[in-house]
Amino acid sequence: MNISEKIIASHAGLDHVEAGQLVTAKLDLVMANDVTGPPAIKEFEKIGLPVFDPNRIALIPDHFQPSKDIKSADLAKIMRDFAKKHHIKHYYEAGRVGIEHVILPEFGIVGPGMLIIGADSHTCTYGAVNAFSTGVGTTDLAVGLATGKAWFKVPEAINVKLVGEKPKNICGKDIILTLIGRIGVDGALYKAIEFTGEGVAQLSMTDRLTISNMAIEAGGKAGLFPFDHITQAYVDGRVQQPYTAVNPDPDAHYSSTVEINLSELVPVVALPHLPENVKPAADLSNIKIDQVVIGSCTNGRLEDMETAANVLNGRKVHPDVRCIIIPGSPAVYKEAMHRGWLDIFIDAGCVVSTPTCGPCLGGYMGILSAGERCVSTTNRNFRGRMGHVDSEVYLAGPLVAACSAVVGHISSEVI
């Protein structure tokens, strides 16, 4: 079996499962945010049961927080009241909150071998720490809250084999955008994407979290990495509960194999209005921009902040550009401050925000007007995603985003 099949089988109490099989499995974690939590809570109340385990539920208001208006305050209050009523252990808000898919791995709440559902499509992020995690809808989440179980159709799996040596200017965002550009936004529809090959060892946990995060942008049910020394170094001291590392069998079955030679990669950008519209950043220097966003559950980690700081150090944001930087968690924010990066950002003319999803989904703090263009390290560039339907979002890694902020057009270099 592959990683996905092993994790699902173990949680379904079975020795073996195959792609296409329908199973009911026990869950290690059920997660929701301030957009998806309130409607799931409403459905949960209809079931009439207590929560299955207050220690295995995570409720994180991060999309419109700190509350941007009365409606967002009401959404957060619903979650807050529910968490108090049911004694939910993992409820984080205000100064304790970060972007959900940043803080859950950071806090060690997700770990190897776990089976996780979340009412957010980017729940697949946790595959980076060797978990099977996937997004679900309101009803499935409500049932998960009450029973600690969910049904699954065991997905087929694509083997993405990474070979070659990763150049220094390449990050996880370039790798996943390259993959999506190759297979398309429906190339992994209802399939797990499992990463293998000697190239995996060259990827930091930040790279892996970014890659797994955007598995859904290829239609993937999950995006999983094997357990290796990098995984172990990350989870040791974080994950407090016992965990089971999972790796594929030597004869694991995959529906197809896609090989990516890391040594051949260049910094890339996904043009509007789909993540599959991928082109080399070097070919897009004629595209002038109005805004840059560096952050989100995709690229709001410390390594991303460091990349941006290295580019912006001693430089100024182009006078025609607004640059918004959003650390993904209080820990990232604090460490960036201690390392002097916040000074670099502010001196360069950037806005530095409290951890939040903010502009990624057109929530607030960075909304685009008609005709405006933004280079963003977020994960989606659908029409109207960050504001007006006639605005444009260009997806890139923090290197391209920071360079573009300085020169005023898309670029992977600064002079």
Residues 202 and 101 in one domain: yes
How would residue 406 be classed by pLDDT, with cut points 50, 70 and 90?
very high
How would residue 309 be classed by pLDDT, with cut points 50, 70 and 90?
very high
- Reduced 3-state DSSP string for 132-170: EEEECCHHHHHHHHHHCEEEEECCEEEEEEEECCCCCCC
368 token code pair:
């685009």
Is residue 1 assigned to a domain?
Answer: no
405 token code pair:
């902020």
160 beta partners:
195, 258
pLDDT exceeds cutoff 90 at 411: yes
Residues 227 and 256 in one domain: yes
- Tens digits of residue pLDDT in 126-171: 999 999 999 999 999 999 999 999 999 999 999 999 999 999 999 9
How would residue 363 be classed by pLDDT, with cut points 50, 70 and 90?
confident
pLDDT exceeds cutoff 80 at 109: yes
Is residue 413 assigned to a domain?
Answer: no
Residues 377 and 286 in one domain: yes
Kindly report the backbone phi and psi dihedral angles of residue 302, in degrees, each rounded to the nearest multiple of 5, phi listed first. Answer: -60, -40
Domain end position, chosen among 261, 281, 311:
261
Domain end position, chosen among 261, 296, 326:
261
pLDDT exceeds cutoff 80 at 215: yes
Is residue 412 assigned to a domain?
Answer: no
Report yes or no: 191 and 156 within 8 Å, Cβ to Cβ. yes
Q: Report helix, strand or coil for 409.
A: strand
Domain end position, chosen among 261, 283, 315:
261
Residues 111 and 235 in one domain: yes
pLDDT exceeds cutoff 80 at 415: no
Q: Strand 291-294 relative to strand 322-325: parallel, antiparallel, unpaired?
A: parallel
Residues 337 and 239 in one domain: no
What pLDDT score was predicted for residue 33? 93
Rg (CA), the chain: 20
How would residue 292 be classed by pLDDT, with cut points 50, 70 and 90?
very high
Residues 280 and 254 in one domain: no
How would residue 88 be classed by pLDDT, with cut points 50, 70 and 90?
very high
How would residue 68 be classed by pLDDT, with cut points 50, 70 and 90?
confident
Give dist(CA 373, CA 152) in Å, integer.
40
Report yes or no: 377 and 296 within 8 Å, Cβ to Cβ. yes
pLDDT exceeds cutoff 90 at 384: no
The number of distinct structural domains making up the chain is 2
The arrangement of strands across the sheet holding 222-224 comes to: 222-224, 191-196, 156-163, 256-261
Residues 226 and 337 in one domain: no
pLDDT exceeds cutoff 90 at 262: yes
* Mean pLDDT computed over every residue of the chain: 95
Report yes or no: 375 and 289 within 8 Å, Cβ to Cβ. yes
How would residue 85 be classed by pLDDT, with cut points 50, 70 and 90?
very high
pLDDT exceeds cutoff 90 at 96: no
What pLDDT score was predicted for residue 391? 95
What pLDDT score was predicted for residue 362? 85
Prediction pTM value = 0.95
pLDDT exceeds cutoff 90 at 364: no
pLDDT exceeds cutoff 80 at 198: yes
Residues 15 and 124 in one domain: yes
**CATH number of the domain bearing residue 385:** 3.30.499.10
Residues 178 and 42 in one domain: yes
What pLDDT score was predicted for residue 383? 84
- Tens digits of residue pLDDT in 369-381: 999 999 999 999 8
pLDDT exceeds cutoff 80 at 94: no
Residues 257 and 278 in one domain: no
Buried b (16+ CB within 10 A) or exposed e, 364-390: bbbbbeeebbbbbbbbbbeeebbbeee
Kindly report the backbone phi and psi dihedral angles of residue 389, in degrees, each rounded to the nearest multiple of 5, phi listed first. Answer: -65, -20
Report yes or no: 209 and 300 within 8 Å, Cβ to Cβ. no
Query: What residue numbers bound the domain in which 386 lies?
Result: 271-407
Residues 252 and 283 in one domain: no
pLDDT exceeds cutoff 90 at 95: no
Q: Report helix, strand or coil for 12.
A: helix
Is residue 308 assigned to a domain?
Answer: yes
What pLDDT score was predicted for residue 361? 86
Residues 155 and 33 in one domain: yes
pLDDT exceeds cutoff 90 at 245: yes
Locate the DSSP E strands across 36-114: 57-60, 90-91
Give dist(CA 29, CA 402) in Å, integer.
35
What pLDDT score was predicted for residue 374? 97
